Amino acid sequence: MNAQLIIDASYLVAAFLFIYGLKRMSSPVTAASGIRVAGLGMLVAVLASFLYVFGVNDAAAPHLNVNVALGAAALALGFGWAWWSGKKVEMTAMPQMVALYNGMGGGAAAAIGAVELFRSSAQHETIPLVVTIIGSLIGAISLSGSLIAWAKLDGRVNGTWRFTGLQLMNGSVFFATLALGLYIAFVEHGHAPVAITAAFFALALVFGVLMTMPIGGADMPVVISLYNAFTGLAVGFEGFVLQNPALMIAGMVVGSAGTLLTLLMAKAMNRSVSNVIFSNFGATGDEGQG
């Protein structure tokens, strides 16, 4: 009981520090200190979340030792690798690293949704289930889309996929994914066979790839910002599913700030966001349209 109180208080502090840190980051004078404020918030939240150990549900209690070991290992590996790669990367390669880390966040949000959907013992109510599926969909798109953005900026994938009917194909993949998600939610009530749930995630990942492949390198900053907003939304939605206000607030703040930032960046380039995503700018004229 006390552990839960400490966790809740820490999340409140973390949410305040995130918002205050972002506010400081939005002015050139205070920007450098803003990230430290936000970093402090992250530290508080992560340290407090270890207190979850005292509040796991009864079904998970026998697995607790293994789960704690896995969690510590994953944290150490993830933090260690990202810290090292972020320190050593060239200044000019920053944008693709942002894309890569952003994709990882989207993947984490999708993983939270996947754990919920693969838990056969879970009791699903309709609204949290639908939110889980939407969050997973957005997170998975953000994961694979950001990876393609990273690969393109890093020069690992060259050229763009463009052919007549591409938009049509992307649209059908998207609606197939959505239909599968709705099927899991409303027909199977979250207890779909593993193959169907896996197919849902696979299709969402494929759509992220298809959506990003036709976009040229010059537009990538806008696209990365868009996926940043996507990941924020996915995190906010999965936060609702987990009943975690820190995730809800941080995710939604980033979701809306990221959307606005995407619009501002597109405007600074004299482009509209729909132009960036749908019109295949930067190649050989208008042939890609339609």
Partner 1 sequence: MLTGFVALYIFMLAAFTGYEIIGRVPSILHTPLMSGSNFVHGIVVVGALFALLNATSLVEQIIGFFGVLLGAGNAAGGYVVTERMLQMFKSSDKKKA
Which residues between 170 and 199 bind partner 1 (CB under 8 A)?
A: 194
| The only residue of 138, 250, 273, 277 in contact with partner 1, by rule CB under 8 A | 250
Nearest residue (CB) to partner 1, 31 versus 168: 31
Interaction of residue 83 with partner 1, rule CB under 8 A: yes
| The only residue of 12, 13, 166, 257 in contact with partner 1, by rule CB under 8 A | 257
Interaction of residue 105 with partner 1, rule CB under 8 A: yes
SS (H, E, C) the chain: CHHHHHHHHHHHHHHHHHHHHHHHHCCCCCHHHHHHHHHHHHHHHHHHHHHHHHHCCHHHHHHHHHHHHHHHHHHHHHHHHHHHHHHHCCHHHHHHHHHHHHHHHHHHHHHHHHHHHHCCCCCCCHHHHHHHHHHHHHHHHHHHHHHHHHHHHCCCCCCCCCCCCHHHHHHHHHHHHHHHHHHHHHHCCCCCCHHHHHHHHHHHHHHHHHHHCCCCHHHHHHHHHHHHHHHHHHHHHHHHHCCCHHHHHHHHHHHHHHHHHHHHHHHHCCCCHHHHHHCCCCCCCCCCCC
Interaction of residue 16 with partner 1, rule CB under 8 A: no
What's the min distance (Å) between Cβ of 105 and partner 1?
A: 4
Interaction of residue 6 with partner 1, rule CB under 8 A: no
Nearest residue (CB) to partner 1, 75 versus 283: 75
Interaction of residue 145 with partner 1, rule CB under 8 A: no
Please, how many CA atoms are within 13 Å of residue 123, restricted to the half-sphere of its CB? 0
What's the min distance (Å) between Cβ of 290 and partner 1?
A: 31
| The only residue of 166, 173, 196, 252 in contact with partner 1, by rule CB under 8 A | 252
Nearest residue (CB) to partner 1, 142 versus 170: 142
Interaction of residue 59 with partner 1, rule CB under 8 A: yes
CA dihedral 133, 139, 143, 146 (to 10 degrees): 140
Interaction of residue 23 with partner 1, rule CB under 8 A: yes
Nearest residue (CB) to partner 1, 11 versus 280: 11
What's the min distance (Å) between Cβ of 203 and partner 1?
A: 17
Contact 161, 213 (CB under 8 A): yes
Tell which positions 109-128 bind partner 1, by CB under 8 A: 109, 111-112, 114-116, 118-121
Per-residue binding letters, 223-242, with partner 1 (x by CB under 8 A): -xx--x--xx--xx-xxx-x
Instruction: Compute how many residues bind partner 1; rule: CB under 8 A.
Output: 105
| The only residue of 4, 5, 36, 283 in contact with partner 1, by rule CB under 8 A | 36
